[in-house]
Amino acid sequence: MTKRILSIEDQVDNRQIVRDLMTSVGYEVIEAIRGDEGVTLAEQSNPDLILMDIQLPGFDGYEATRRIKANPKLCRIPIIVLTSYALSGDEEKARAAGCDAYLAKPFDAMKLLAVVRQYLTS
């Protein structure tokens, strides 16, 4: 079964990087640009894993993460936060919102793939 990854990211360049990377290893990628749209798409498409930006229109990544993790049908979907926020406290806020893992941008492609694989096989 092809694993489906939901990428929630508002920057077109970052969406393409994630899409190219994930499809290159055989994952299916679906995308949302806004945080609220991402929550809706998670409900509709039941992805195997979510890659979440923080700075998003609509709900930001923290709010989108909280809403997904508060939904009993979605709460087991792993959420990996990818953020370029360099300010300290960001990782703590992301983890408090319920994310499973956190990577700062610019992320290392192999490291991201390793984290994604870890969550998709467990």
| Contacts with Mg ion, residue ranges (CB under 5 A) | 10, 53, 55
Closest separation between CB of residue 61 and Mg ion, Å? 8
Question: Of 19 and 117, which has the nearer Cβ to Mg ion?
Answer: 19
Quick one: which of 83, 116, 78 has its CA closest to 99? 78
Within a 10 A sphere around the Cβ of 63, how many other Cβ atoms? 16
Closest separation between CB of residue 59 and Mg ion, Å? 12
Closest separation between CB of residue 73 and Mg ion, Å? 26
Question: Of 53 and 100, which has the nearer Cβ to Mg ion?
Answer: 53
Backbone angles phi, psi at 48, to 5 degrees: -80, -20
81, 94 Cβ separation under 8 angstroms: yes
Closest separation between CB of residue 54 and Mg ion, Å? 7
Question: Of 1 and 12, which has the nearer Cβ to Mg ion?
Answer: 12
How far, in Å, are 5, 64, 70, 87, 114 from residue 74 at the CA level?
13, 12, 8, 29, 23
Question: Of 57 and 114, which has the nearer Cβ to Mg ion?
Answer: 57
Taking CB atoms, the residue at the shortest distance from Mg ion is: 55
